[in-house]
Amino acid sequence: MVKKTLSLLCFAWILCLSYFVYFSLSLEIPREEDDYALYFKESGKDLKYLISKCLNSAKKSIFISSFGINDKDIVRILESKAVFLPIKIAFDPKENNILPHGSNVELLTFTKQGLMHRKMVAIDDELLLFGSTNLTPLALKIHKNLVVCIRSKDLYRAIEKNLPLQKKNYSFYPLPEERDLALETLLKELNSAKNRIHICIYTFTHQELAETLISAKNRGVDVRVYIDRGMASGTCKKIITLLKQNQVLVATHLGSGLLHHKCALIDDTFTFGSTNWTKAAFFKNEEYLLFLKSLSPKELKEITRFFSYVAKSSLILSNTSVM
């Protein structure tokens, strides 16, 4: 009887593990122009597998812009592709990077003021992966991150020229080139919110954005800010105190890794990118900010499920806990 019970438990464990592996590796890649898909680490998606799969699918070219690149498996894929494909990599030399070598590899060293903080992979000039993740083992496997995959030749051309792009279901703003327009768009979305503003952010120090959230709270909008635990007790302490004093719900995540997201659900618009809510991010660093509009019921359900998970795995801060 005991032996039979153990066998059943073992079978159930293998079945659950198999389902988890299948779910984490079953990734739908957009096929049509302007289609996109969202991949949240919290939803069990394997971001390293996603990026590796897209890199391995490259047939014409690869372009990467990333603050951190030191995942050896990713670098190994890039070096194998560099045998026959042109590869461009924009990186920040202030980070401890491991970069691929080869005659087809062009390394673009960032030399301007601030950080080269963008996190993007472009495959064959049309398949684009944006989000909050660097190409490092910790970012891909441990930290809480998001990747949004968009197939768009128009968007790739806008990225090449550092130009904004307005489409029916999304908009794109490169920073610092379009810093005023990007901030203006974000403030407009926040000021027009009627029902909810749910934010998941690594660093938040921007005074004007904080005051806009307080105004939204005062007019009856459900405002919630989830922020990284380490940042909450350090860099973001002043803003958190201001928000809490004005009855805005602020919480920090529990568990391992960084809460490295830079995203918000504003009514039915989802904004994300490499941009933290700081003045440096908008006016000094190389960043980007995107807005997804006209979300389908499936996409909206997925995003609200993500925020529900974040809420359940977070600790709400009291006024005394941030003083």
Q: What angle do CA 305, 277, 127 make, to 5 degrees?
A: 60
Is omega for the bond preceding 100 within 30 degrees of 0, making it cis? no
Q: How far is it, in rounded angstroms, from Cα 120 to Cα 311? A: 27
Q: How far is it, in rounded angstroms, from Cα 157 to Cα 240? A: 39
Looking at domain 30-161, its CATH architecture is: 2-Layer Sandwich (3.30)
At residue 50, the pLDDT reads 97
Instruction: Please give the chain's pLDDT, 323 residues, in tens.
Output: 555 555 555 454 444 333 334 334 558 899 999 999 999 999 999 999 999 999 999 999 999 999 999 999 999 999 999 999 999 999 999 999 999 999 999 999 999 989 999 999 999 999 999 999 999 999 999 999 999 999 999 999 999 999 999 999 999 999 999 999 999 999 999 999 999 999 999 999 999 999 999 999 999 999 999 999 999 999 999 999 999 999 999 999 998 999 999 999 999 999 999 999 999 999 999 999 999 998 999 999 999 999 999 999 999 997 655 44
Decide if 173 contacts 288 (C-beta within 8 A): yes
CATH 3.30.870.10 domain span(s) along the chain: 30-161, 170-322
- 201: which strand partners? 227, 262
At residue 13, the pLDDT reads 47
At residue 294, the pLDDT reads 84
At residue 323, the pLDDT reads 42
* CATH classification (class only), 170-322: alpha beta
At residue 279, the pLDDT reads 96
Q: Which residue has the tokens 């079978």?
A: 11
